[in-house]
Structures are given as C-alpha cells and as structure tokens.
C-alpha cells in the first residue's frame, strides 16, 4: 500500500493511492486534505473537482479497499486450498505491516449514519459473510449459515483485538476456536 502512483498515473489514481496509504496508516480523521494533496502531488482544487468532498474520497477509498487482493479474507478465493483449508487460513497470522481491516477501521471512525462510506462498509461485510457461508457449504458443513456466522464473529473479533492491542497473537488464540467450530460443523473434518 506504499505506492502513491507515478507521474504517469493520472491525478485520480495518485489521490486514491495516497489516500489508501495515509488513511490505512494514520486513520481517516487524522489525515488532512493538505497532507493528501501533498503526497499525491495535486492541488486541493483537483481533489475537490475529482471527488467533490473528503467524504466522497473516503467512499472511493473504501470501494478500492473492498476490492483489494491484500485483504486477509481473500484466502477464501484461493483455488489451491480445499474449502476447509480456506476457512482455517483466515486465522493465519497477518503480515507485520498489518493494521487491521481498513473497512472495520473506517467503521469505527465514521460515526455519522449518512456518511457515503457506511454503505460500502456494510456491503463489504455482508459479502464477506456470504462468502464465508458459501465456503462452509462447499466444505460440507451441516449448517453452513451457522458456521459462517460463527467464523465471521471469531474472525472479526480477532481482527479488532489484534488492531486495538497491536498484537497479532489474537489470531493464534482464535485459530483453535475456529478449528473446533469447523470440526463440530463439518462431518469428518477432525482428521
């Protein structure tokens, strides 16, 4: 997430690249427009012409993060793993540069119900839950919806705790809980 675009990139891409790094590293509210335009190498006028407001830029940032291949939950898309292995892989320890889920982090900061980023966050989390349920179904879970919801809660809890305490050990503690849930829900999964 360090790349802020190049001179060959258009101003929109440079602004989104800068926002992706700064919002994730420092937070949305702590990142000012002045810092964003400086890092992106554009004027404030250009930013407002392209996005209209900081809130609209935040929504565009969240759409970008929702589609990012760097999210931990992308392990559910791995074709080299069985469905059961994909569920377990969610609880692998994150990389050292981890600072939580950018969508969860934004949800904590965006307290205004009408903020344009809120629907992006809700849609992303619902889609993640659907993918978890689909993966649980593919793994042969007796009740894929229940397993999906339970793993969702354990994962989101580990993610939030690891972020708030700056301690990735939360995933180490969540992993055996997830394994127990999978073993209970999927016939023959305990072998």
Per-chain mean pLDDT for the chain: 92
Q: Are 185 and 141 in contact (CB under 8 A)?
A: yes
- With b meaning 16 or more CB within 10 Å and e meaning fewer, what string describes 126-164? eebbebbbebbeebebeebeebbebbbebbbebbbbbbe
Q: How many CB atoms lie within 10 A of CB 109?
A: 15
What pLDDT does residue 190 have? 56
- Which H or E element spans position 63? helix 54-66
Tens of pLDDT, residues 85-100: 999 999 999 988 888 8
> Could you report the per-residue pLDDT of 11-27, keeping only the tens digit for each?
999 999 999 999 999 99
> What would the pLDDT profile of 119-128 be if each residue is shown by its tens digit?
999 999 999 9
What is the model's pLDDT at position 96? 82
Residue 134: which residues within 8 A CB-CB, separation 6 or more? 144, 148
Share of the chain above pLDDT 90, in %: 85
* Position 5 pLDDT exceeds 60: no
Whether the model clears a pTM of 0.85, i.e. scores above it, the answer is: yes
Which pLDDT value is given to residue 6? 54
Tokens representing 96 are 């050292």
Confidence of residue 3 (pLDDT cuts 50, 70, 90): very low
């Amino acid at each position: 997430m360090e790349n802020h675009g190049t001179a060959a990139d258009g101003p929109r891409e440079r602004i989104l690249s800068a926002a992706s790094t700064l919002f994730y590293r420092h937070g949305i509210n702590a990142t000012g427009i002045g810092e964003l335009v400086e890092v992106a190498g554009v004027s404030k006028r250009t930013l407002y012409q392209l996005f209209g407001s900081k809130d609209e830029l935040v929504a565009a940032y969240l759409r970008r993060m929702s589609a990012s291949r760097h999210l931990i939950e992308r392990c559910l898309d791995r074709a080299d793993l069985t469905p059961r292995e994909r569920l377990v892989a969610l609880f692998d320890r994150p990389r050292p540069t981890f600072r939580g889920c950018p969508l969860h982090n934004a949800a904590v900061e965006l307290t205004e119900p009408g903020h344009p980023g809120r629907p992006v966050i809700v849609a992303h989390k619902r889609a993640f839950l659907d993918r978890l349920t689909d993966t649980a179904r593919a793994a042969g879970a007796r009740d894929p919806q229940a397993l999906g919801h339970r793993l969702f809660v354990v994962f989101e809890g580990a993610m939030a705790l690891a972020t708030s305490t700056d301690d990735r050990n939360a995933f180490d503690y969540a992993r055996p809980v997830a394994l127990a849930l999978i073993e209970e829900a999927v016939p023959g999964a305990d072998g």
